[in-house]
Amino acid sequence: MPTLEFNGQIVELNADKAIAITYQVNDLNSIADRQATFTRTIKAQKTAKNIRIFQYLGVPGNVSNVPYQKNVCNLYNETGERLLNNARGVVYDKGSYFEIELLEGIVDFYKSIENKTLAELDLTELEHAKTVAAVINTWNIATNLPYRYILADYNGNIGDVETGIINIDYLVPSVNVKYLWDKIFDKFKCTYAGAVFNTQAFKNLWMTYPKGIAAAGENDVLVFESNNMKPFSTSSNSYYRSKFTTASTNTLVSTSENIYLKVDQTASYRIEVSGMLHGRDIQGNPRNARIFLALNAESSGGSLNQFSIWKVIADNLTADQEFDIANTEDVFQLQANDSIAVCITRATGAHINNSGSYALNQNDPTNNLEVRLIRVDPAFIDFGGLLTDFSIRDFFTEVLHRFNNVQEEV
């Protein structure tokens, strides 16, 4: 006589009743209509034991939840061989007896993923700030990261691959398909098996996220802005520091002496300068200017001509003409508590024809310099948010379609 195990308890069956099982073979290429292996209806008498197993289903005044809950069943033949494993059991009250149907297969899995998206998975391992170091790190196989920045044409200026110059602004991160596949099965407490899952074609398959990337500059943060500058010099009329008496935006650690702009975060920065400079040589003739940054120059004793020119922002700016320099790609790295001073001196080579002096009258209103210091914050990649609209069912279908005919040796 067959043995039916229902939620861990043995159901009393009629010894003279055979149980017919219909086995289904599904088309791997389509999951639109998945069919399960199932039994024809199994009748069980309303014995005291069966009534207890089915939580008093059909007893007047009792409301049993058995017909609506997930019931795990195993069916064995007379020799103890398991015919159905962890099948779903559906029970009906037929008045004088119970009727049971068993369904086996991946029906539970498909019910679990119904109307679910990939955003419901725990994808915190994929979150990262998109920096140059982070992008390079994904190319190191030893890191075994579940995401990677693959060099490809994403319809943007990715640089020149042949010369090794890459612009990461247009690179898009990809997530490993096997990583997502495993996450789905872990989430819904299911397992999978098959030779195809050990192939390189499956393990080395990557998927870009289905939404666009943020445009360059969208995450930038303005940390300092001022158009109220007076040229300041203590030791030489040829070198000037920009002294900002007021600022419309200032989130810096400090602006020591209103000159040294000290940042609070280690990050990439860029600077924008605009305005007009009324530079003159010793005879009062117009002289072109150079603007540069001095790094951590507070301890220099105020002698600008002893400063190391750390970074030139602009050179050969024509005197008495407006200029606007805002190169969004020209960035530099600062460590937390580093400071920069925006310095002004004569243009390169301007001392050839006459003396090397350069003069800016501190009280001359025609001297105008507006400076904007911007922290270039990297884009934060959150796959959970980016995969919100991608259904697990669609993802599962795509994988099945892709590997329907894979014949690779393991």
pLDDT band at 299 (very low <50, low <70, confident <90, very high): confident
Mean pLDDT of the chain, nearest integer: 82
- Number of helices (H), then strands (E), in the chain: 7, 28
| Nearest CA-CA partner of 359 in 370, 342, 345 | 345
pLDDT at 237 over 80: no
Q: Tell me which residue has tokens 């055979």.
A: 18
Q: Which residues contact 145 (CB under 8 A, 6 or more apart)?
A: 137, 138
Domains and CATH numbers, the chain: 3-105 (no CATH), 118-216+381-402 (no CATH), 221-376 (2.60.120.1400)
Residues 6+ apart with CB under 8 A from 223: 249, 250, 251, 252, 263, 269, 373, 374, 375
Q: What are phi and psi of 8, to 5 degrees?
A: 85, 0
What is the band of 157 on the pLDDT scale with cuts at 50, 70, 90? confident
This prediction's pTM? 0.54
pLDDT value of residue 210: 55
CB of 325 within 8 A of CB of 272? yes
Q: For residue 21, what are the β-bridge partners?
A: 39
Sole residue written with tokens 């007896």: 97
Please give the residue that has the higher pLDDT: either 165 or 44: 44
- Of the candidates 321, 297, 298, 313, the one whose C-alpha atom is nearest the C-alpha of residue 345 is 313
The percent helix, strand, coil of the chain (3-state, each to 5) is: 20, 35, 50
Count the Cβ atoms, other than its own, within 10 Å of residue 367: 19
Backbone dihedral angles phi then psi of residue 180, each to the nearest 5 degrees: -65, -40
pLDDT at 408: 40
Which pLDDT value is given to residue 27? 43
pLDDT average, residue stretch 264-291: 90
Q: Where is average pLDDT lowest: 196-205, 294-303, 359-368?
A: 294-303
Asked whether the predicted pLDDT for residue 247 surpasses 80, the reply is yes
Residue 25 CA to residue 329 CA, distance in Å, equals 58
**How far apart, in Å, do the first and last CA atoms of the chain sit?**
42
Question: What percentage of the chain has pLDDT greater than the value 90?
Answer: 32
